[in-house]
Amino acid sequence: MLVPVKPDEEVIAARLLEFLAAATPWHRRLWNTSLLLGLREVLEAAEAARASVLSEESVKATASTCVRLAGLDPGLGGEQAVRTLQHALTGRLRHDGLDYHTVSHIAEDLESHYLQRWADAIRGADPPKLERTARSIAAHLLDLGFGPNYLHRWWTYKIAHEATACSLADVVEQAHTLARRPIQAFQVLLAFQSSPRSRAGYPPDWLTPGQVSAWLAANNFAPAGPGIKGGLIRAIEARDPDTAAELAGEFIDNLTARASVGTGDDIDATQHVWVAGERGPTQLKRRLRGVRVRALYREGQIIPTPNQHSILDPVIEMLSHLERSSPSAAVAGGWAAIEALLSEPNDRGGAAERLASLVACSFPRAELTVLSYLLQRSEPSLAADLANCAENRDRSLVVARAIRAGQQLTLPNLSEKAALSRMVKLLASPRKTLEDLRTHITDSFTRLYRQRNLVLHWAKTDGVALRSSLRTTAPLVGAGMDRIAHAWYVDNLRPIELAARARVALATVSDTNIESCIDLLA
């Protein structure tokens, strides 16, 4: 179990678990991808530019993000490595050119040594800041292809249950060993309650109902139940069983799409798959990605008003693909929803910055509201004031004033204390901190736009950042769309007008007037 040797190690561990937990709210989730994935994106973008799918400006923007991150990342291995990478990223980065292969070589080095270098940095006399440490380690492992549920269980065991006492650096070293483990081929059984038709008959590896039952028995699973018409076994390469099951779900989606356009038939697959070596079947959760536009519920718009047109009606339909469709359909539908509301002629990509401004403006009140309900139970000095608040805006202001006054606040766990520390930093310098937030969120939305272009203009359904882009952006898109929906249904304010309000608010937020930080979209 974790035995900290430095003050922030327990908080870093708590943030790692928060980044990997499915229920973490949007304002505490992991918004960034790893430096390794960023470099792979640069290489892919250079190839796409050669094919005239992406512009040279897009390649430069992708590289510029990596340049900004590289100087802060001890996983690169020192100042010389940082300078070499930054020189390559700012040069004439052409597919198959010298700079291209320099970036490729550094990416391979990162895959082999990244977490070991982070372990060394954590042991050092001046370790990196806790938030950067947690974000970098979590993003690296996720972008290597590990599933968040698998990683959450792994980290929970190492931190809380393993008998051997370890420092955080020791656990990160063990994560390095985990990351170096070869990708495995998992045997996964997919069962169907209606069998697909084909003029050529069933494929050679099609299983009859009796063969499905025999495979389940041979692998120590309970019977699948009645109604099984057949099945398929697929060898799926993945980092862990959870990810193998998720990829099997994507295969089912692909198979369903092929049957739909090939015969017009539906394929009825079971809602779970069986991964050999696991104790039981794995439920297919259809990859809900955390897009939540709660204003639809709050304002009574789940069932739209009859004969009343709303600019949001078609957008919500497109946005639903971001929540639950296959990755390629999700990026296409998700970006279409954003573009429909926030783009301008000849400036489609500008919608990323506009939506990022809305999300950045939403961040302070979202975090302060959550803290307010926790503090009402744990902090006697604020309980009465918070109980008398009628609106979340007022609750946020009570907490913000206590933070700015330097009051020592009691919170129940390390994750909440980390959130409080982030708000102390934000309220001390709102303009700079919110601008940093907007920059990072814009990077995420720009990545989504780039993935959309690769899918629609290059049929690139296996882009290196496709799944990571969905993981990082879907909850943020939901948060921004929630603000748009609220403004439209409550104030009849159009999205582009709300985006203009957000831009002005971020430019003029006061470092001394605390209410201006709470009322950014008021």
Confidence of residue 203 (pLDDT cuts 50, 70, 90): confident
Percentage helix, strand, coil for the chain under 3-state DSSP, each rounded to 5:
65, 5, 30
Q: What is the pLDDT of residues 225-253, one digit of tens each?
A: 889 999 999 999 999 999 999 999 999 98
Residues 6+ apart with CB under 8 A from 126: none
- In this model, does residue 92 exceed pLDDT 90? no
Distance (Å, rounded) from C-alpha 485 to C-alpha 60?
Answer: 34
Tokens of 183: 């990708």
What pLDDT is recorded for position 402?
97
Tokens of 184: 């495995």
Is the model's pTM score more than 0.85?
yes
Sheet holding 230-238, edge to edge: 230-238, 184-192, 272-275, 282-283
Amino acid at 313: D
Confidence of residue 369 (pLDDT cuts 50, 70, 90): very high
Confidence of residue 43 (pLDDT cuts 50, 70, 90): very high
Q: DSSP characters for 245-287?
A: HHHHHHHHHHHHHHHHHHTS----B-SEEEETTSSS-EE--TT
Instruction: Locate the DSSP E strands across 79-229.
Output: 184-192
CB 463, CB 451: distance < 8 Å: yes
What pLDDT is recorded for position 333?
96
Give percent of the chain with pLDDT exceeding 70.
99
Q: What is the pLDDT of residues 114-154, one digit of tens each?
A: 999 999 999 999 999 999 999 999 999 999 999 999 999 99
Using alpha carbons, select from 307, 356, 306 the residue that is nearest to residue 503. Answer: 356
Rg (CA), the chain: 24
Using alpha carbons, select from 468, 508, 486 the residue that is nearest to residue 143. Answer: 468
What pLDDT is recorded for position 288?
77
Residues 6+ apart with CB under 8 A from 419: 28, 367, 370, 371
CA of 357: how far to CAs of 29, 135, 397, 501, in Å? 17, 22, 21, 9
Average of pLDDT values for 398-424? 95
- In this model, does residue 286 exceed pLDDT 70? no
Amino acid at 495: P
What pLDDT is recorded for position 432?
97
Q: Calculate ∠ Cα 198-199-201, nearest 5°.
A: 65
What pLDDT is recorded for position 287?
62
DSSP 8-state assignment for residue 225: -
CA of 50: how far to CAs of 38, 44, 95, 343, 418, in Å? 19, 10, 7, 26, 44
